[in-house]
Amino acid sequence: MNFIVRAFISSAFNSIKRHRGKGIPNLNYFLIMKLILVFTVALNLWASANVIAQKVNLSVKDESFKTVLLTLQKQTDYSFFIKAELLKQAKPVTVNITGTELIDALPIIFKNQPFSYEIEAKVINIISKPQKNFRLTI
């Protein structure tokens, strides 16, 4: 992809050099600039999509939650924060995830856990689930 963009820009500047003495028609100049802008934006979006969509592979059976978090942390650029008392409440994890984006894998991993999570930038904070208050009136 990078090669294609460089080749396009190179040909555009070669075209400008050929017309230097004759004057560049405004239409061609603006068309070239628009195309360069479109390719630059497309390349940036493609690169950012690759950063966001981090795939994880995880196949564990009755593994400790701490080990699962450490494995996910090694596979991605995300960090996990969990309080010690929440970690003590964690249940063993059994999952088989292959080539799944981290955002889609987290609900599967947290399915039977007594806590939830919040994502802020590249940090996943593990928080206790909000208590549901039931009121019984007779």
What DSSP character marks residue 113? S
pLDDT given at position 40:
80
pLDDT digits (tens, 9 = 90+) for 18-42: 555 555 556 677 778 788 888 787 7
How many helices (H) and strands (E) would you count in the chain? 5, 5
What is the average pLDDT across 5-27?
60
pLDDT given at position 82:
92
CB 81 within 8 A of CB 87: no
* 75 burial type by CB count under 10 A (0-12 exposed, 13-18 middle, 19+ buried): middle
Q: CA 109 to CA 67: how far, in whole Å?
A: 12
pLDDT digits (tens, 9 = 90+) for 101-120: 888 999 999 998 999 999 88
Predicted structure pTM score:
0.58
Question: What is the pLDDT confidence band of residue 6, given thresholds at 50, 70 and 90?
Answer: low
Q: CA 77 to CA 122: how far, in whole Å?
A: 7
pLDDT given at position 34:
81
What DSSP character marks residue 95? E
pLDDT given at position 72:
93
Q: CA 65 to CA 87: how far, in whole Å?
A: 8
pLDDT given at position 89:
92
Say yes or no to pLDDT of 133 above 80. no
pLDDT digits (tens, 9 = 90+) for 44-86: 666 655 545 678 999 999 999 999 999 999 998 899 999 999 9
